[in-house]
Structure 1
Amino acid sequence: MTSKVENQWFENYLKNAQLIANRCENSSLKNKINQSYKQPLTKYKTGDKFRSKVAKLSHAKKWSQIKENQTCELFENFTTEFVLLPNTQTQFCFFNPPTTTELSTTSVIYTTMIDEITTATNAKWNLTGITVASSNGNSSILNPYAIFVDDQYYIYIAEKGNSRISKWPPNPNGSASSSIFQTAAGQLNQPPSLYVDSKTNTIYVADESNNRVVSFINGSTIGSSVTSILSGTLPAVSGIYLDPNGTIFITDTGQNRIYNWFTNQSAVGGQGSGNNASQLYQPKRFFIDSNYSFYVADSGNNRVQKWMRGATMGETVAGGYGAGSNASQLSGPLGVVVDSQGNILVCDSNNHRVQKWTPGATIGLTMAGNSNGTAGSSSMELNAPKGIAIDKSDNLYVVDSNNFRIQKFNVL
């Protein structure tokens, strides 16, 4: 008996069958690939152990780069049940593996791989979300854009459209329909991001349209400017985060950089707009880990860039292959967090999903929303997610913006 998570993982990969078939140069094999692709799901659901060998293509990372159609030859010359492995577009598990001789005729390498698919590798969160803050479709009650969850599981929401910050109670069972705290009217103008410092009991808010950062004592409705340096000098303050030492960093989207308030200098980017390793283009929110590494949602470049402490260049750790909905792509990412295991979670806004990228991976796995990039309103779907957060237990929270709700996906 397989779990819902395992079944959903296979179903997500079945959705990619048509894409794989379309990349096959031999059109006569398209239907064969699609039909074969359905078999592993049926076989696995009957309770059979997923034990197999792997055929790995020797020299290609993308289907479109496979020379002389060697992959299609493999399916044509060897009929069997197969499934695409996670974290790759060029590896397949065969339930009844071909012989070494058969594999050699299609120029592939034969290797031994996994014994059994486990949920820990392929999906870490429940695929069904729980609504922990909702307006029942009324944007005047809740119009979420960004989120922060503190150590007591209280939820703080930047409501850009309502020009306020609201605080919501912990709701392990969902069904919350009202906040317990809101900033007073006229204090903010379209805030897109916030950070809660539990050590000082302070809420920091990126007050974008006022070109400043303001701070609030947690529970207060009246804010004060953090300092005059941050007031009126920044053209587009779209993100804010504090490092483990309490240093304030902000996203200065207009200058394509992450800005260190204490040193009055760029910490990341600031080399003009562009897509090389030293540049950003329309950066949004970012995350700082315990090693002081920055993970930046480089929205205009459809990628996430990691900058080690003190580095002058970043490394692409998610996306970077142009805008799109393939597993290797992102489209307009707006937020990023890193969990306790080092997994990179990306708010892939235009694709209506959250993607997980394990360290070193070249493609992502869908953890929330539809893997094919379509919007929806069910408990397993998202519509234009604008932000994400994780709590101290690694539960995932998503700002489901166009559904006017916050969805929580419990860690497994």
Structure 2
Amino acid sequence: MYVADSGNARIQLFKPGQSNATTIAGTGAPETFTFKKPIAVILDSDGYLFIADFDGHCIIRSARSGFYCLFGCTYHPGTASNQLHSPQSLSFDSYGNLYVADSENHRIQKFILRTNSCDISYNLPKFCSNATWNPNAITVGDSISIGIYPQGLFINNNNTVYMSATSSNNILVWLEGNASPQTYNSPDISDPGAIFVTVNGAVYVYNNGINGSINTWVHNGAGGSTPAMLVNSTCNGIFVDIEDNIYCSMSDFHTVLLFNNGTYTSLIIAGNGSAGSGPYMLNTPRGIFVDINLNLYIADCRNNRVQLLQGEYPNMRTVVGNGSNEIITFDCPTSVILDADGYLFILDSNNQRIVGSNADGYRCIVGCINGLIPILDELYQPWSLSFDSYGNIYVDDFGNSRLQKFLFISNSCDEVIVYNDTLTSTTNLNITTTTSYQNGGQSTSSIFLPTCLTPLSINSNCNTSASICDIRQPCQNNSTCINDNTTIRGYNCNCLSGFNGTECQYDYRICQLRTCSYNGICYQLSNTTFTCSCNEGWQGVHCGIKINYCENITCYNQGVCQSLSSNYTCLCENASYSAMLNIGGISSAPESIPSNSGNSIDTQHKTPSQD
């Protein structure tokens, strides 16, 4: 049970069977949020909190990266659409829209969920806690194909790889499955650097040019590029958020600049222009990442840390590195990205390695020994990194003038054995293990398998298939699994119509559980169209509009029309009158009611077709 403990300015959690609460937000819970008077708390399906702060005049929510302001973020009472005055309570509808009882403004406010807030162009793969990557990279492009010292990398959710070939003044584009890149030139771009590609395919690239700018460019379009944002310093990192605002990380000025797409104005949102390590300062910031909640992560190179700027807070919080409680240390982090669970993956440039996080903390995943000690010959001054949709990590290996690809070991989340060079899961298999002991301590277990004539058969009777499709059964939603040793995963999934994803895990059918509201029935007409058969009393494309049966109905003698679930009634406030009766489809007047009969009200139902 979650309790808004308003007088103590905190949120308390009472677990089942326990009388003592745990403070999870506010006073007594460090690094959360300072409330004034939290008065209501609700949760979403992922367990994140949404809190109404009565005296703070705002709505606060939690996320993987902490707490931040969602609505009313001026923290002052007001009547504007983005302000609240003493919010009293809040609630979700089935579409994710948030309703707030704005008490002192005497109104109910509805904050509409941005349905396109998850329409992102980059990849956010989901990993298990013990996910691993092959430490030996594949070279996708070398100095012959990409030139020397490339300074920009981006991979969209179609697995198209974009890279700024800085030395040759062009953009290289690898389509998925193609080993050789296509070369796209724009006559008004020189020394291209940091790069970002939006959902609609617009390429934003830092154009060193004469004064420096961020240009937007459609690589298969005509007419070259168009300046989207003018800057007076090098952009070592570019990001375009879900509201099409443009961010530029300016290392020389120790700031991050934001170009607001709505007001067409630029402002500094992080750093004060001087190198420093204070909570509002940066020192040579490099790569940046903005999540769908508009939280800004900054690879603060010379401070050897990653900073987080949330909402409209003036100060930043150190997530990892110098000034944090994490034990891992950095030497000039240059790039930071997130996975689907909000865990960070960081390019530690001078340590020539990639650091990743999970529920257990931070660990080295590429370029290290024993998960911590760097191997200095794996990468050299890496510049940036990016995921593809399979979880593979691409690195702009700047110092080596090459593009490296580190393969995600897709079955690293399973316990595996090696038999005839075939990776086989031991889950649910009858395999005998023995354990040896040395010097009083336990050594690694050994797994013994019988000798089977067929490599993909195991078990003591050699009658259990060890193929990935049979053991893991990875394909979802009744799709067909096909073993394929030529792919990284070792299998392919043939999806039924309406499903997509490497394991057919994404349901894109137009008729979803909530396509038709209030138990309406959805009928698919084509791949892109549908119709809803609404229950009685509801109408609209999604059956979300309640029918007003009183529309165009007049009740006589000051009677009041009341809309019911399937018809309406007239409430007769004058005791001398009553509603018409509907008997067998024939309207007839009731017996007269004496004037002294009190205030009785006849609520005889009528259909909308009656006058």
2-structure distance, mates of 1:151, 1:140: 22
Q: Which residue of 2 aligns with 1:386?
A: 383
The letter for the 2-side match of 1:198 is: V
1:402 pairs with one of 389, 399, 407: 399
CA distance in 1, matches of 2:226, 2:237: 16
Map of 2:291 onto structure 1: 289
Higher RCO (Cα < 8 Å, 6 or more apart): 1
Number of residue equivalences: 274
Q: Distance in 1 between matches of 2:245 and 2:287?
A: 16
Aligned to 1:312: 314
**Alignment of 1:156 onto 2:162:** yes
Secondary structure in 1 aligned to 2:274? coil
Task: Tell me the TM-score normalized by structure 2.
Answer: 0.42
- Give SS of 2:374's match: coil
Query: 4+ residue runs of structure 1 moved beyond 6 angstroms?
Result: none
Q: Tell me the distance in 2 between the aligned counterparts of 1:191 and 1:255.
A: 19
The alignment partner of 1:350 has SS state of helix
Aligned partner of residue 129 in structure 2, secondary structure:
helix
Q: Give the superposition deviation at 1:181.
A: 2.4
Q: Please state how far the C-alpha of 1:166 moved relative to its aligned partner.
A: 1.2
The 5-angstrom pairing of residues 214-225 of structure 1 reads 214-220=215-221, 223-225=224-226
Question: More strand by proportion, 1 or 2?
Answer: 2
1:130 corresponds to: 138
Residue 167 of structure 2 aligns to a residue in which SS? Answer: helix
Unaligned segments of structure 2, at least 5 residues: 1-126, 411-611
* 1:366 is aligned to 2:367: no
Alignment partner, residue 260 of structure 1: 258
Query: 1:221 and 1:409, CA in 2 relative to 1: closer, same or farther beyond 3 A?
Result: farther
Where in structure 2 are the equivalents of 1:57-96 lying within 5 Å?
A: none
2:207 matched to which residue of 1?
207
Q: Pick closer, same or farther for the CA change 1:345–1:188 going to 2, 3 Å.
A: same
CA distance in 1, matches of 2:213, 2:162: 19
Which residue matches 2:236?
238
* 2:344 alignment partner AA: I
Quote the offset at 1:147 in angstroms.
0.8
Aligned residue type for 1:128: N
Deviations 1:328-375 (A, max 9, x none): 1111211110111222111111111111133684xx311212343333
In structure 2, relative to structure 1, the CA distance for the partners of 1:337 and 1:409 (3 Å cut) is: same
Query: Alignment partner of 2:173: what SS?
Result: strand
Aligned-partner Cα distance in 1 for 2:401–2:134:
21
SS of the residue 1:329 aligns to: coil
Distance apart, 1:159 and its partner CA: 2.5
Cα pair 1:350 1:373 within 8 Å, conserved = no
Match of 2:171 in 1: 165
SS in structure 1 of the partner of residue 282 of structure 2: coil
- Aligned pairs (5 A) from 1:110-125: 120-125=128-133
Deviation digits for residues 184-239 of structure 1 (CA, Å, limit 9, x no counterpart): 4x53333320000122x210001235411111113247533324xx33x4122222
Amino acid at match of 1:406: L
Q: TM-score, normalised by structure 1?
A: 0.60
Distance 1:373 1:209, change over 3 A: farther
Please name the residue that 1:106 is paired with: none
Q: Distance in 1 between matches of 2:305 and 2:392?
A: 23
Counterpart amino acid of residue 284 in structure 1:
R
Contact 1:183 1:221 in 2 (8 A): no
Secondary structure of 1:244's counterpart equals: coil
Distance 2:388 2:223 in 1: 26
CA distance in 1, matches of 2:239, 2:301: 17
- Equivalent residue number for residue 189 of structure 1: 190
Alignment CA distance shift 1:224-1:253 (3 Å): same
Identify if the C-alpha distance between structure 1 residues 317 and 161 changes in structure 2 by more than 3 Å, giving closer, same or farther.
farther
Say if 1:358 and 1:155 are closer, same or farther in 2 by CA, change over 3 A. Answer: same
Tell whether the 8 Å contact from 1:157 to 1:166 is kept in structure 2 after alignment. Answer: yes
Q: Quickly say closer, same or farther: Cα 1:303–1:359, change in 2 above 3 A.
A: farther
Q: Does the aligned pair in 2 maintain the 1:160–1:192 contact within 8 Å?
A: yes
Q: Say whether the 8 Å CA contact 2:309–2:317 is kept in structure 1.
A: yes
Query: Structure 1 CA distance, aligned partners of 2:360 and 2:288?
Result: 19
Checking the alignment, whether the CA contact within 8 Å between 2:239 and 2:290 is kept in structure 1 is: yes
Superposed displacement of residue 256, structure 1: 1.6
Deviations 1:61-93 (A, max 9, x none): xxxxxxxxxxxxxxxxxxxxxxxxxxxxxxxxx
Q: Tell me the residue number matched to 1:349.
A: 349
Q: Secondary structure at the match of 2:350?
A: helix
Partner of 2:270, secondary structure, is: strand
Letter in 2 for 1:345: F
CA distance in 2, matches of 1:388, 1:128: 16
- Give 1 or 2: higher helix fraction: 1
Displacement, 1:271?
Answer: 5.3
- Give the structure with higher Rg (CA): 2
Cα deviations by residue, 1:383-402 (Å, 9 ceiling, x for unpaired): 22111011344332111223
Check 1:179–1:386 CA distance in 2 against 1; reply closer, same or farther (3 A cut): same
Native 8 Å contact 1:334 1:348 kept in 2: yes
What's the counterpart of residue 329 of structure 1?
A: 329
Q: Which residue of 1 aligns with 2:249?
A: 251
Matched residue SS, 2:252: helix
Residue identity opposite 2:400 in structure 1: N
Change (3 A) 1:124 1:140: closer
Aligned residues with identical type, % of pairs: 24
Contact 2:135/2:406 (8 A) holds in 1: yes
SS in structure 1 opposite 2:383?
A: strand
SS of the residue 2:162 aligns to: strand
Query: Could you tell me which residue of structure 1 aligns to residue 482 of structure 2?
Result: none
Cα 1:168–1:329 change in 2 (3 A) is same
Q: Distance in 2 between matches of 1:148 and 1:212?
A: 18
Structure 2: distance between partners of 1:198 and 1:342: 20
Q: What code does the residue aligned with 1:353 have?
A: R
Contact 1:303–1:318 under 8 Å retained in 2: yes
Residue number in structure 1 paired with 2:24: none
The letter for the 2-side match of 1:356 is G
